[in-house]
Every structure is written in structure tokens, then in C-alpha cells.
């Protein structure tokens, strides 16, 4: 049974509160999928040919947070975390596990990226923009995209966790 509390997003709130609450809901969901697993379990792949792992998903979401909020929204020169040689303008990586990768380390890195995200977003309006593919992209659009990104990958995490120990439904 989970020990992590996942607050339900408010049912009738302003737009920003709604977006940020749903994003947080999905962030907590990812943590819940990893709760109670050791490194070997969290590094277990789903089924061939997929090499998805829960550690890899957490690492990937750290890269996604970094890309959309630091690079795109804030315009920071933030190199990829897990493959420093990768093109920062290329697809978000992080799925591959380095030897000795741990769930605790992946979660710590991911949480640090979320903390930076919160700092960057706090003083911005939903209409503030960054640059993506030579176009302006609003914080509102980025929030919606991130909710979608987490929801999709939490579906992958559901399947991974069920394969590891049968846990479903969180």
C-alpha cells in the first residue's frame, strides 16, 4: 500500500492552479509507481523489444523538465543530464541507464529539475513565452504539454510496475 499522498487537483479553480495541480498530480503519480522498489526492480525492462525501465522513465522526465522549462521557456544553456554529448536541441533522452544507475539518484536529479522549474515559473504569466522551433510557445502550452507527457509515461509506468510485482491502480 502506498504511503505517498497524491492530492486531487481542485475541481473548480483558476486556470493556473488547475494546470499546476494536474502537473503535480502526475509528478506524484510517477513517484508512486516507483515507491518501494529496489534498484534491480526499478531497472527491470518491460518486455522485448522495449528497454523501458522505471529508472529510465524518471531520468527521461528530468530531461523533459529541463528541456521545456530551462531551455525553451527560460532560454538557459542547460546541457542534457544523462548524455552530455547529445544535441540539446535533439529529442529528450534519459531512457538509457548508465552502469550503477540508481532509483534514488534518478529521483534526486528529477526533483532538482522540478525545483528549478518551480522557480522559473513562479514569476511568469501563463502568456509568457519561450522559443521552440523558431516560434513563441506560451507557458500555458508548456504546462498542457507536460501534463500530457507525464500522463503518457505514467501509463508506461503502470505497465512496468505491474510486470515487476503486480501492483496496479495507483
87, pLDDT greater than 80 = no
The answer to whether 9 and 25 have CB atoms below 8 angstroms apart is: yes
**Residues of the chain with pLDDT > 70: what percent?**
93
**Alpha-carbon torsion (105, 111, 114, 120), positive or negative:** negative
The residue ranking higher by pLDDT, 89 or 156, is 156
9 pLDDT above the threshold of 50: yes
Predicted pLDDT at 88:
64
Question: How far, in Å, CA of 129 to CA of 142, rounded?
Answer: 9
Q: What is the share, in percent, of the chain residues with pLDDT greater than 90?
A: 78
**Distance from C-alpha of 57 to C-alpha of 123, rounded to nearest angstrom:** 29
Complete domains list, the chain, with CATH: 15-165 (1.20.120.450)
Whether residue 112 contacts residue 63, with contact meaning beta carbons closer than 8 Å, is answered with no
The answer, yes or no, to whether residue 1 has pLDDT greater than 60, is no
Average pLDDT over the chain reads: 92
Whole-number Cα distances in Å, 47 to 33, 84, 124, 157: 17, 28, 42, 13
d(CA 130, CA 142): 9
> Greater confidence, 94 or 135?
135
E-strand ranges in 36-165 read 129-132, 135-138
Collapsing DSSP to helix, strand or coil, 84 comes out as coil
Tell me how far apart the alpha carbons of residues 35 and 164 are, in angstroms, rounded to a whole number. Answer: 12
Amino acid at each position: 500500500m502506498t504511503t505517498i499522498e497524491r492530492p486531487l487537483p481542485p475541481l473548480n479553480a483558476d486556470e493556473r492552479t488547475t494546470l499546476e495541480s494536474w502537473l503535480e498530480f502526475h509528478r506524484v503519480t510517477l513517484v508512486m509507481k516507483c515507491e518501494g522498489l529496489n534498484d534491480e526492480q526499478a531497472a527491470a525492462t518491460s518486455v522485448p523489444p522495449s528497454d523501458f525501465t522505471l529508472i529510465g522513465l524518471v531520468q527521461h522526465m528530468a530531461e523533459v523538465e529541463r528541456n521545456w522549462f530551462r531551455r525553451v521557456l527560460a532560454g538557459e544553456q542547460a546541457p542534457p543530464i544523462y548524455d552530455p554529448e547529445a544535441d540539446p536541441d535533439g529529442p529528450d533522452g534519459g531512457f538509457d541507464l548508465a552502469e550503477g544507475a540508481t532509483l534514488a539518484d534518478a529521483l534526486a536529479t528529477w526533483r532538482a529539475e522540478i525545483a528549478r522549474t518551480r522557480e522559473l515559473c513562479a514569476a511568469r504569466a501563463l502568456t509568457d513565452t519561450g522559443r521552440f522551433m523558431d516560434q513563441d510557445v506560451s507557458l500555458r502550452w508548456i504546462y498542457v504539454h507536460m501534463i500530457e507527457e507525464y500522463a503518457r509515461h505514467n501509463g508506461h509506468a503502470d505497465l512496468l510496475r505491474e510486470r515487476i510485482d503486480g501492483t496496479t491502480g495507483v
